[in-house]
Structure 1
Amino acid sequence: MGTMPRHLAKVPGLRFAKMLGSGFDFGLKPNFARYGLMAVWDNAADASHFFERNEHWRAFQERSHELWTADLLPLQGHGLWDGTNPFDYAPRADAPAEAPVAVLTRASIRLLRSWNFWRAVPPVSRAVQQAPGLLAAIGLGELPVIRQATFSLWRSAAEMRQYAYGQQHEGRHKEVIKRTRQEGWYSEEMFARFRVLATRGTWDGKNPLLLT
């Protein structure tokens, strides 16, 4: 994890990449057995070449008993990650309501606001894990406590929107969003939504969304 970023900086066609750790149940307790790579590519050929032939990625594979990969097409991305929007592509047609989608959120949390942030996490994480249509979700992070992200996979765009904007969770969800603005929790934040093109491998022993 410590040495991989400098190798990634030399990979042809790799526009933007982050190595991410994870926590148990979206919380502060780190999970030293699970990690993520978020990568933005110039084209599919460069991505395939990396995952098939890169010696450093192969070393990760040799140390892993499970791998899951998703090929994603950005549909919407607003906000910044390290001062840039890696998903700022030309507008694309939205995913059909019944098509699967993935969602990435990330934020740099102001240190003096981190306690308020982490106190608000448990009820929201419990709600999302019980949401109809959720296939998988994980809390990720660049740095402990202050640079956090979430990745979630949904059976359909309609079910994702129902969780985000429906009445069942609207109060809790809207209240947290309101507090982030009023109390200035974040120095930087981003939201991105993707169409799922393909998935392979396993996540907790199964592929939560097997597409061909």
Structure 2
Amino acid sequence: MVTISLINYSQNKYWAFKQMQLLPPHLAKIKGCEFVKLLGTGSGFGFSLWPDFSTYALLMKWKDENQAEDFFQNSNEFNELKSKSNSIETHYLESLGAHGSWYGENPFPEKGTYNGGQIAVITRARINIHKLPRFWQFVPKASKAIENAKGLITTKGIGEWPLIEQATFSIWENEQAMKEYAYADTHKEIIGKVKKENWYKEELFSRFNYIKSINH
């Protein structure tokens, strides 16, 4: 079980920003938590140069759903997030497998079976510093392509460090819609340049059955 919570703040934005450093060590000790990242988000579609200081993403992997529910319903850490934020929407995901790594490890190696419904995707890249200008040159083109993609339900740029560590979370109507975007000319062109010009120091592509969402 994987959850990603999008946390929106209308106030307490400085407090929220500080939690990027302060909160993850506490979350890593939560019973049943196997992986955790508290991520900033970008404005607009896909990768973004411009941060959205009103929204953060809490990505967690759990041993089972019961332990996830206990965290969301009973933990002091999540209760404080609720009290400080304006709204929290949590998406529940089931891993279909991933390739690549996140700081040297694959956090989502479990290979499930696609259930035929909505599908979620998390992509993450650590960009080679000397390739940053080349990467950001193509970001507007990539963002426009995904914004116009058929079958896209929603997407949000997420990441740990501005400029050099970028990720996206997206939800698609079905696997076919996701694949049609992935193999579309614009996306294929950019992926080709990524490989040929060695833009990324590290990358991860992970797919999930989309289970449900809850507003806390």
TM-score above 0.5 = yes
Q: Which residue is equivalent to 2:7? A: none
2:115 aligned residue: 95
Residue 73 of structure 1 pairs with residue 73 of structure 2: no
Deviation at 1:181, TM superposition (A): 1.1
Q: How far apart, in 1, do the equivalents of 2:84 and 2:141 lie?
A: 34
Q: What do residues 99-141 of structure 1 show as CA deviations (whole Å, max 9, x unaligned)?
A: 1010100011111111111111111111111112111101111
CA distance in 2, matches of 1:163, 1:171: 9
* 3-state secondary structure, aligned to 1:94: coil
Say which SS state the counterpart of residue 80 (structure 2) adopts. helix
Give the distance between the partners of 1:18 and 1:92, measured in 2 at CA: 22
Amino acid at match of 2:168: T
How many angstroms apart in 2 are the aligned matches of 1:117 and 1:63?
Answer: 35
So what's the TM-score if we normalise by structure 1?
Answer: 0.88
Is 1:141–1:148's contact at 8 Å kept on the other side of the alignment?
A: yes
SS in structure 1 of the partner of residue 87 of structure 2 = coil
Q: Contact 1:14 / 1:41 at 8 angstroms: preserved in 2?
A: yes
Compute the displacement of 1:95 (Å). 3.1
Per the TM alignment, residue 164 of structure 1 is displaced from its structure 2 partner at its CA by: 1.4
2:164 partner letter: I
Whole-angstrom distance in 2 between the partners of 1:119 and 1:95: 37
> How do residues 157-176 of structure 1 correspond to structure 2 at under 5 angstroms?
157-165=175-183, 170-176=184-190
- Aligned residue among 132, 151, 154 for 1:114: 132
Residue 184 of structure 1 pairs with residue 198 of structure 2: yes
Counterpart in the other structure of 2:63: 42
Residues 1-80 of structure 1 mapped to structure 2, 5 A cutoff = 1=19, 2-25=21-44, 26-80=47-101
2:84 counterpart of 1:84:
no
Which whole-Å CA distance do the structure 2 matches of 1:46 and 1:84 have between them?
Answer: 23
Structure 2 contact 94–112 (Cα < 8 Å) conserved: no
How far the C-alpha of 1:142 sits from its partner, in A, is 0.6
CA–CA distance in structure 2, aligned partners of residues 175 and 68 of structure 1: 34
CA-to-partner distance for each residue in 1:3-44, whole Å, 9 max, x for gaps?
111101211111011110011123211110000011111111
Rounded Cα–Cα distance in structure 2 between residues aligned with 1:57 and 1:47:
11
TM-score by length of 2: 0.87
Point out 4+ residue stretches in structure 1 off by more than 3 angstroms: none
**2:145 touches 2:187 (CA, 8 Å); kept in 1?**
no
Q: State the SS of the aligned residue for 2:85.
A: coil
Which amino acid letter does the alignment assign opposite residue 90 of structure 2? T
Q: CA deviation at 1:94?
A: 2.3
Query: Residue 207 of structure 1 corresponds to which residue in structure 2?
Result: none
Q: Distance in 1 between matches of 2:97 and 2:115?
A: 10
Cα separation, 2, equivalents of 1:32 and 1:199: 23
What are the Cα deviations for residues 151-183 of structure 1, in whole angstroms up to 9, with x where unaligned?
001112121112112xxxx22111111111111
Alpha-carbon distance in structure 2 between the residues aligned to 1:180 and 1:95: 31
Distance 2:28 2:170 in 1: 26
Give 2:16's aligned residue: none
Count of paired positions: 195
Task: Give the distance between the partners of 2:134 and 2:128, measured in 1 at CA.
Answer: 10
Q: Does the 8 A contact of 1:75 with 1:92 survive in 2?
A: yes
Q: CA RMSD in A?
A: 1.3
